[in-house]
Amino acid sequence: MPRSAPISPTSPAAVSSFRDFVAMTVTAGSTERENRIQGVRIVQGEPVEYLDLSFADTATLPPVWTRDRSIVMYGHAEEDSLTAPLVATLSFYPLDVRQLARMLLPRLRDHRLETVGACLAIAPENDGFSGPEGRLARVFLGLLDLLYTLDIHVLHGLARLSHGVERLDNLFIEAEAYTIRRGSSRPARSPARQEFMVPSRNVDGNGMVGGDDWLEDEEEEPEVFAPIDTEEIAAIFDRDGLFERVMDRFEHRPQQLAMVNGVTRAFNDGEFLIAEAGTGTGKSLAYLVPALHWAVQNDRRVVVSTHTRNLQEQLFFKDVPFLIRTLKTDFRAVLLKGRSNYLCPDRWKQVMDQPDDRLSPEEREAALQLVVWAGETETGDIAEHAGFSSSAPYGLWQKINAEGGACPRCMMQKACFVNRAREAANHAHVVIVNHALLFSDIAAENSVLRDYAHLVVDEAHNLEKVAVQHLTVEVNGWRVRNVLRTLYLREGIETGVLATLKWRSEHAPIKPVWKDALAAGTRMAIDRVNELDRAASAFFETVHTAAIRAVKDTGGYAVKCRYGKDSELAALLTAQAVPVIQRFIHLRDAAGRLAETLNDIPASWLAERDEMLNTIASAMETCKAIEEDLSVLAGGETENTVFWVEANVQGNTLSCTLTGAPLDVADRLYESLFSRMQTVVLTSATLAVGTKFTYMVDRLGLRPIGVPRLKALRIGSPFSYRDQAIVGVPSAFPSPKSGQFQQATQKLIQGLALAAGRNMLVLFTSYGMLNRTYADLKKPLEKSGVTLLAQGISGPRSLLLERFRETQGAVLLGTDSFWEGIDLSGDALQIVVLVKLPFAVPSEPVIEAQIERIDRTGRNSFLEFLVPEAVIKFRQGFGRLIRSAADRGAVVVLDQRVIGTAYGRLFLDSLPTGHRVFRNGDDLIEGITRWFEETRTMP
C-alpha cells in the first residue's frame, strides 16, 4: 500500500517517541480461532504497512510488529472475551487508547472510538489511514497532539499519578519533560467540538430571587400571593400560541393543556395536585412554565424533584435553555445535587500533593481519569465525566468527594463546588434536585435547600421508595474499612493521613518536643486504627457465619436473616458490637489527642497542618455516625422498623451488612415535608391503580391534606394506542410456577425474534431466569444473526443501551431497573415481552414485614399492597414501548394470571389499550408478525 503524505511536523506531538507504534483491532469471527486481527504499523506518524490475519495465524506475526514498539488497542481491558486471547500472545500489555481518551476528553458524552474520532474532527478515512485499525491509529495520534498542549501542571499531575502504570508512565513523563524544556511557548490547543461534550454548568438564566437576606424572612410569607394569569399561561401552549410559533414540530395536545391549567390553579390556589399524565403528554413543560412564571411573579423559589438522573438533566440541559430562549421572562434555574456528587477541591489537592501517601496503586491509576477534568470543570459534578465510574476502584471517590468534609475549617471554602451550587440555588427561581437530595435536606433540617414552600415532584411513583431508602440505616465492614483507609492503611506501602504524619514526625525540621509528641500521638492513633480494623473484621465474620447458619436453605447465594429485639441473633449482635463500639471510642479519643498536638504546632512549622486536621476531623465525624448506626442496629429495638443481616455465602465477610428499614414512611412524609408546603404538584405516568389514587394518597401521607385542597387529575396519553400498539397474551402457556415455564419462555423469545426481526426488550423479575435465558439462547440466536444482550452481562447500562439502539433486530434481556427509565423510540424498540407479573418478592425483609403488619389488622395484604405495587410497575414496563406518536409495537404478556385470575384483570385494565388472547405461543408469534405487516404502511 502506498504511503500517505506525512503528518505535519508542526504537530504538537511531533517529537514524541510514541509516534512509532502499532494499532491493532479485533473483529469477531464464528469461532475464537476465526477472529480476525487487523493492524497498521505507524512510523513517525505515518502508516507504512497493514496487516489482516486470523487469530489462528498469530504465530506468523512478523517480529517487526511487536519488537521494541508500542502496541495500542481500544478498550481491550473491558472486552476480554474478544481481545484477551490476542493480548495473551503479546510480550507486553498494550496501551489502551480508550483509557487515554477518558483522561484527556473527560466530558465526552461517551468514549466509543467513533465519538472520540468525531470530537477530534477525524474523518472516517483520513490521510491514507484506512479501516478500523487506521481510524484507531489516527485517533491515538490526535490524542497525542492533545496531550502535548496540556498545561505543565496538568502534565505533572498525570506523570506523578502514572508512576508504575505500564505504558502510560513513559507517555506522560516524556510529555512533561518536553513541555518543561519548551518553556512558555505552549502550542495552541485545538478546542474539542462542544456538541460531543457534556456541558459543565449548573446555573442558567439571568434572573435572581430576592436580595442577600431575603431567605431569613421566608418563614413569614404573606398569606396571599399574586396569582398568575391562567389564560396567558394556557395561550403559550394553545393553537397558534408561542410554542407553536417557535418550535418546528410542536403538536397541540389537549392533554398537555389540561395539565397546564391544573398546575396553574394549584400554584394560584395553594393546592396539592396529584396529576397522572400518560406518556407523550409533555409533563415537564406543563409544570415548568406555570412554576417559573409563578416564581418570578412572587419572588419565590420552586423546587422541582425527579427520581432519575436522565430526567434531571433533561429538565436542566434541554427544557430550561429552551424556555430561557423562548419566554420573555428573566428567571434563573439551578441544578443541585447531593454532596457526594461533587469533587472536594481540598481533598483533591491533598491527594495530588501526596498521591503515594493518600492512594493505593489501583486508586492512583483510576485517578488519572480525573486530572484533566478537575482542572477544567466549572461545577465539580462527577456526572460530567462519562468515562469515570465512582464505584471502581471502590474507595477513590469516597476519598475525594465532598461528602462528610470538615467544612467549617476548610481553607478552600470559596473554591468549594458545593458551596457555590448551594449559594446559587438560594437565589434561583427553579431549583432542580432529585428525590434523594430532597430527603437529605429534610434530615439536615433544611440546611441544604433552605426554606421553600412550593414543590413539584416528577416521577412521584418512586417517592416512597426513595424515602424508605434514605431513612434506612446500614453498616457493613467496607463502610468501616473505607473510613479507616483515609487514616491509615498498610498494604505493601503505608498510605493515609497518619502515614504522612508518621513520616513528618521522623523527618520534619520541627522542635524535638513537638516531634516527640507528634510521633507518640501518631503511633497511638495508628494502633487504634489497627485495633478497630481487627475488631470490625472479627465482628462481621462472626455475624456473617451466624446469619448463614440461621438460614436453612441458602441456595448458595446471599441470605437475608431478619431479627428482632428478643431474637438470638439480636443478642449475639448486641454482645459482639460492644468491643467494636469501644474501639470506635478509643480511636476518636486518640484522634482528638493527636489533633490537640497538631494545633500546638504552628502551621508555619508543619506543612499542610490544617489540611491534615480537616481530614482527621472528617474521618471522626464518619466514625461517630457509624458508631451510632451500629448501636441502633445491634439492638434491633426501634419501632416500625424491620432489621436484618445480609450475608453472601461465597463473598467477603466485610460485605456482611446490618440493615434497619422503616415500614411506613407516610407519617414522616407528611410531618417533615408536606405539612410545611404551600403548593405541591405530584406527577407521573403511573400513579393510579385502576382509576383511583387512593393507594398513592395513603402511601405518601397525603390523607391529612384532605379535600378540597387535595386535587387529583388523571390525563390520558395523546398517543393512539389502539392503532399504535398490540397487547398479546398466549392462552395455552405454562404457569409461571411450573417447570415448563422457562423452556416455553425461551422458545417464544427465540421464535418471535426470528419471525419479527425487530428490536425486542424482554423484562424479567429475577436475575436467575434472565441469566439462564441468556446462557441458553446466546448461541442459537447469534448463529441466526440475532444479537443477544443482557443486563449485568453485556456491559455497563449506558453502553448496553447504545449498542441495543444501534443493532437492528437485537434482543435485550433486562430486569428491575430496566422496567422504567429507558427511553427508546422508533425502530430502536418495537417489542416488549413482560415475562412475569412484577410482584415484589414476599421473602424480602421489608416486603415480608409489610405483609405481616397488614395481615395482623385482618386486612388482605395481597390485594391492598402486593397487587397495587405490581400494577404500577407493570404499567411502567408497558410504558417502555410507545414513546412518540410515530412509534408502533407489540407488548407480549406471558404470565397467565392476567387472564386466569380476578386480580389479573387489574393489570390489563390499567393499560391504555385492549388486549388479544392467542391460542398458544406459536399463534401469538404469527399474530404479532402479521400485525406488523398489516400496519407497516400506516402513517
8-state DSSP, 866:
I
334-338, 389-393, 664-668, 696-700: range with lowest mean pLDDT: 389-393
User: What Cα–Cα distance (Å) separates residue 200 from each residue in 103, 379, 380?
Assistant: 16, 6, 8
- Could you tell me where the DSSP H helices lie in 488-567? 497-507, 512-550
16-30, 83-97, 488-502, 811-825: range with lowest mean pLDDT: 83-97
Cβ neighbours of residue 210 closer than 8 Å, sequence gap 6 or more: 299, 427
As a whole number, mean pLDDT of residues 148-168 equals 89
Q: Tell me the Cα Rg of the chain.
A: 30
pLDDT attached to residue 217? 45
852 pLDDT exceeds 80? yes
pLDDT attached to residue 125? 63
pLDDT attached to residue 82? 67
Give the three-class secondary structure for 109. coil
pLDDT attached to residue 11? 75
The residue assigned the cell 513528618 is 504
pLDDT attached to residue 913? 93
Contacts 24+ apart (CB under 8 A), 801-804: 802/110, 802/112, 804/759, 804/828
Cα 223 vs. chain centroid, distance in angstroms? 41
User: CB-side exposure of 274: number of CA atoms within 13 Å?
Assistant: 27
802 pLDDT exceeds 90? no
844: confidence class by pLDDT, cuts 50, 70, 90: very high
Per-residue pLDDT of 27-36, as tens digits, reads: 876 666 777 8
Per-residue pLDDT of 270-286, as tens digits, reads: 999 999 998 889 999 99
721-934 architecture in CATH?
Answer: 3-Layer(aba) Sandwich (3.40)
Backbone angles phi, psi at 358, to 5 degrees: -95, -25
Domain boundaries, the chain: 17-149, 203-218+225-340+431-453+677-715, 721-934
The DSSP result for 333-376, as a single string, is EEE---GGGBB-HHHHHHHHHSHHHH--HHHHHHHGGGHHHHHH
As a whole number, mean pLDDT of residues 519-540 equals 97
215 pLDDT exceeds 70? no
As a whole number, mean pLDDT of residues 546-563 equals 82
Q: CA-CA distance, 549 to 928, in Å (whole number)?
A: 50
794: confidence class by pLDDT, cuts 50, 70, 90: confident
Cβ neighbours of residue 666 closer than 8 Å, sequence gap 6 or more: 698, 699, 700, 701, 703
| Terminal-to-terminal C-alpha distance of the chain | 50
The reply to whether 203-218+225-340+431-453+677-715 and 721-934 are identical in fold is yes
Are 449 and 433 within 8 A, CB to CB?
A: yes
Give the three-class secondary structure for 483. helix
- Could you tell me where the DSSP H helices lie in 95-229? 97-104, 113-119, 131-147, 152-161, 168-182
Give the three-class secondary structure for 888. coil
Residue 640 region, left (φ>0) first, then alpha (ψ -120 to 50), else beta? left
Are 633 and 660 within 8 A, CB to CB?
A: yes
785-813: b or e for each residue (b if 16 or more CB lie within 10 Å)? Answer: ebbbbbbbebbeeebbbebbbeeebbbbb
Pick the CATH number of 17-149 from 3.30.420.10, 3.20.20.60, 3.30.390.10, 3.40.50.880: 3.30.420.10
More confident: 567 or 532: 532
Q: Please, what sign has the CA dihedral across residues 100, 102, 108, 113?
A: positive
Angle at the Cα of 101 from the Cα atoms of 99 and 103, rounded to 5 degrees: 75
Residue 408 region, left (φ>0) first, then alpha (ψ -120 to 50), else beta? alpha
774 pLDDT exceeds 90? yes
Are 20 and 70 within 8 A, CB to CB?
A: yes
Instruction: Assess if CATH 3.40.50.300 describes domain 203-218+225-340+431-453+677-715.
Output: yes
More confident: 521 or 555: 521
234 pLDDT exceeds 50? yes
Report the percent of the chain where pLDDT is more than 70.
92
Residue type, 748: L
More confident: 728 or 415: 728
700: confidence class by pLDDT, cuts 50, 70, 90: very high
526-562: b or e for each residue (b if 16 or more CB lie within 10 Å)? Answer: bebbebbbebbbebbbbbbebbbebbeeeeeebbbbb
Per-residue pLDDT of 384-406, as tens digits, reads: 998 887 666 767 898 899 886 65
- Could you tell me where the DSSP H helices lie in 508-654? 512-550, 568-600, 609-635
User: What Cα–Cα distance (Å) separates residue 816 from each residue in 693, 729, 763, 823?
Assistant: 24, 21, 8, 15
325-334, 600-609, 880-889: range with lowest mean pLDDT: 600-609
Among 224, 8, 197, 233, which Cα is nearest to 104's? 197
8-state DSSP, 819:
G
- Could you tell me where the DSSP H helices lie in 183-252? 230-237, 242-246
Cα 288 vs. chain centroid, distance in angstroms? 24
Are 429 and 452 within 8 A, CB to CB?
A: no
Per-residue pLDDT of 576-614, as tens digits, reads: 999 999 999 999 999 999 999 999 888 888 778 888 898
Per-residue pLDDT of 244-253, as tens digits, reads: 999 887 888 9
157-161, 334-338, 438-442, 445-449: range with lowest mean pLDDT: 445-449
Report the percent of the chain where pLDDT is more than 90.
61
pLDDT attached to residue 210? 64
